[in-house]
């Protein structure tokens, strides 16, 4: 069997599409499938540098696909951009498009005084044939080149890129690199390379000092809804580290500068940040943003339905969170894993979730005690846990459900036989004996009722009273039996069946609900001439058993990790 194929690292960062083997029409699912196959091979704890390269390439394409941008565009395209010559573009620079007056008013960016553009010197303007930049670097000082470029009257997009790089080298001011790119976008609106360079700057966790001011300056330079695509990653950082009231104030200030009537990018942006914001925002703000998404649901892409469902479930869990946490420390550990998954970077969130699985397996008794049966309906926790588990599994294991040597039907029959013939399964049959006796008693009562009805005319009131008494007695007997049956079944489930199910999942894997459905369908097993029932009752208890679900799910994840 051949080993895994070594990725073509030389394609990064310029050609992420080719790196993932994508071309033509592809969507988020195709990208995610390719990405997962790579990170299963290059796990972050073993290959941190390789993982970071893969993750950066994935985020670049993922962001572009979500916002319907053109993915995979190289930062410096020879047919679009300028070469290293000081004043000679390889392609005629198009004239800036005419914009409404409100888009071209002077914008004040907070440059340091010595970094602002100044008048060009006579000596510089007299140059008829300036040297290529790479030649000038070998003979001139970088500060001199920087000053000459600042004085140049008509700068190309590449000039602004060069100024940004030189300003970054000089470390004049925080975010000087980004501010020069903004100057370039002001002079060359919608220039693709400058736009992509600025987007990558925001995506690479820039210094949080001065970041709100930079985002506001960007909103005055890029005033269409593409602003959200451009700055999304920077808003992620602010949301994680700032108080939500500050985050909301900064966002509202920037959004007030946007003039574009389109909302497609805005909707995608809110779908993204709500995953974290739902834990920090006020109820009023959340209702407002969920309302905007619902009002424009028809404008959202196909993948948004699943994301909206997840966000709504997270929001619902948040409303039940305090009640859920009252159950004990295991629940607090589960809550932390869910919180981390929504607020941390993917690799950190996955690590937190898997560490929680390891603890759940080691704290078997505590898990079963805190999630006793029957339990209050916390189905929302099961939904979130299963959803998160599936996503983590896709990144750590190629096969979610390992191939079994025997079918679910065969395994369920063997398990059912053991549940009803071993341990308390033998004592459970006493309950069925009681049911048989009760059934005979009910039949006898029906005979008495018929007898009294035949002679009801002889003594109407007396026989009516007897019939009423028999009916009440039967009803009471059935009620007592039902209560007794539930208590016995629950006691047997806690003391024996639950542990047998856990033992089953130490070596086998089938989805828990599928196994429960199969046991319910079997309902009984045959031992010799005796029909032993109760599998449907066990299946009913299994579906309510959150602790069992958490335990077997942890077993599955840890097995996949190994």
Burial (Cβ within 10 Å: 0-12, 13-18, ≥19) of residue 16: buried
Task: Please state the rounded mean pLDDT for residues 297-301.
Answer: 88
Per-residue pLDDT at 64 exceeds 60: yes
List pLDDT tens digits, range 398-451.
Answer: 665 556 678 889 999 999 888 888 865 555 555 555 555 555 455 556 655 565
CA distance 76 to 344: 32
List pLDDT tens digits, range 462-472.
Answer: 667 666 666 67
CA distance 195 to 67: 15
**How large a percentage of the chain has pLDDT more than 90?**
39
Record the tokens describing residue 168, joined without a space. 């970054």
Place of tokens 């790579």: 38
CA distance 537 to 490: 9
Predicted confidence at residue 449, as pLDDT, reads 59
Per-residue pLDDT at 382 exceeds 70: yes
Query: Which secondary-structure segment (H or E) carries 531?
Result: strand 530-533
Per-residue H/E/C for 361-396: HHCHHHHHHHCCCCCCCCHHHHHHHHHHHHHHHHHH
Record the tokens describing residue 406, joined without a space. 């025997």
In this structure, of 130-144, 147-161, 332-346, 548-562, the range with the lowest mean pLDDT score is: 130-144
Predicted confidence at residue 275, as pLDDT, reads 95
CA distances in angstroms from 430 to 101, 427, 434, 440, 542, listed in the order given: 89, 6, 6, 15, 22
Predicted confidence at residue 111, as pLDDT, reads 47
Predicted confidence at residue 100, as pLDDT, reads 38
DSSP single-letter state for residue 493? I
DSSP single-letter state for residue 525? E
Q: Which residues contact 315 (CB under 8 A, 6 or more apart)?
A: 278, 286, 290
CA distance 100 to 259: 10
Predicted confidence at residue 508, as pLDDT, reads 81
Long-range pairs for 125-132 at CB < 8 Å and ≥24 separation?
125/153, 127/87, 130/85, 130/86, 130/87, 130/88, 131/85, 131/86, 132/83, 132/84, 132/85, 132/86
Task: Please state the rounded mean pLDDT for residues 274-288.
Answer: 95
Per-residue pLDDT at 73 exceeds 50: no
CA distance 155 to 161: 10
């Amino acid at each position: 069997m051949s080993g895994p194929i070594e990725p073509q690292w030389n394609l990064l960062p310029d050609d992420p599409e080719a790196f993932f083997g994508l071309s033509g029409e592809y969507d988020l699912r195709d990208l995610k499938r390719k990405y997962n196959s790579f990170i299963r091979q290059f796990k972050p704890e073993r290959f941190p540098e390789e993982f970071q390269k893969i993750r950066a390439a994935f985020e670049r394409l993922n962001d572009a696909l979500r916002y319907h941008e053109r993915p995979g565009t190289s930062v410096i395209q020879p047919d679009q951009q300028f070469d290293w010559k000081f004043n000679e573009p390889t392609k005629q620079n198009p004239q800036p498009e005419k914009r409404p007056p409100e888009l071209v008013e002077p914008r004040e960016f907070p440059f340091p005084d010595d970094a602002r553009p100044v008048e060009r010197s006579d000596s510089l303007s007299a140059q008829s044939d300036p040297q290529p930049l790479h030649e000038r670097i070998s003979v001139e000082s970088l500060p001199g080149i920087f000053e000459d470029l600042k004085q140049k009257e008509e700068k190309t997009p590449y000039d602004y890129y060069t100024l940004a790089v030189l300003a970054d080298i000089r470390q004049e001011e925080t975010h000087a690199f980004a501010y020069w790119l903004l100057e370039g976008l002001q002079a060359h609106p919608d220039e693709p390379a400058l736009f992509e360079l600025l987007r990558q700057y925001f995506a690479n966790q820039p210094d949080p000092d001065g970041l709100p001011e930079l985002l506001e300056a960007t909103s005055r330079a890029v005033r269409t809804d593409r602003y959200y695509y451009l700055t999304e990653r920077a808003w992620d950082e602010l949301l994680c580290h700032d108080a939500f009231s500050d985050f909301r104030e900064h966002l509202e200030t920037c959004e007030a500068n946007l003039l574009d009537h389109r909302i497609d990018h805005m909707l995608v942006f809110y779908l993204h940040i709500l995953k974290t914001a739902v834990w920090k925002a006020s109820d009023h703000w959340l209702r407002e943003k969920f309302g905007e998404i619902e009002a424009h649901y028809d404008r959202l892409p196909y993948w948004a339905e699943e994301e909206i469902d997840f966000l709504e479930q997270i929001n619902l869990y948040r409303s039940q969170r305090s009640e859920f946490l009252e159950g004990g420390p295991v629940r607090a550990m589960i809550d932390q894993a869910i919180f981390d998954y929504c607020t941390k970077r993917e690799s950190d969130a996955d690590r937190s979730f898997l560490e929680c699985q390891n603890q759940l397996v080691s704290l078997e008794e505590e898990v079963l005690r805190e999630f006793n049966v029957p339990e209050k309906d916390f189905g929302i926790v099961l939904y979130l846990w299963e959803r998160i588990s599936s996503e983590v599994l896709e990144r750590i294991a190629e096969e979610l459900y390992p191939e079994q040597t025997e079918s679910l039907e065969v395994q369920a029959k063997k398990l059912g036989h053991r549940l009803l013939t071993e341990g308390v399964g033998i004592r459970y049959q006493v309950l069925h004996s009681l049911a048989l006796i009760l059934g005979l008693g009910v039949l006898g009562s029906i005979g008495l009722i018929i007898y009294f009805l035949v002679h009801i005319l002889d003594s109407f009131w007396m026989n009516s009273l007897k019939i009423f008494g028999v009916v009440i007695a039967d009803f009471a007997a059935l009620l007592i039996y039902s209560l007794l049956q539930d208590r016995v079944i629950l006691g047997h489930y806690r003391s024996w069946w639950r542990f047998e199910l856990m033992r089953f999942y130490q070596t086998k894997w089938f989805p828990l609900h599928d196994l429960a459905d199969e046991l319910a369908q079997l309902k009984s097993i045959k031992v010799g001439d005796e029909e032993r029932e109760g599998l449907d009752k066990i299946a009913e208890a299994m579906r309510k058993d959150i602790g069992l679900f958490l335990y077997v799910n942890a077993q599955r994840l840890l097995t996949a990790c190994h």
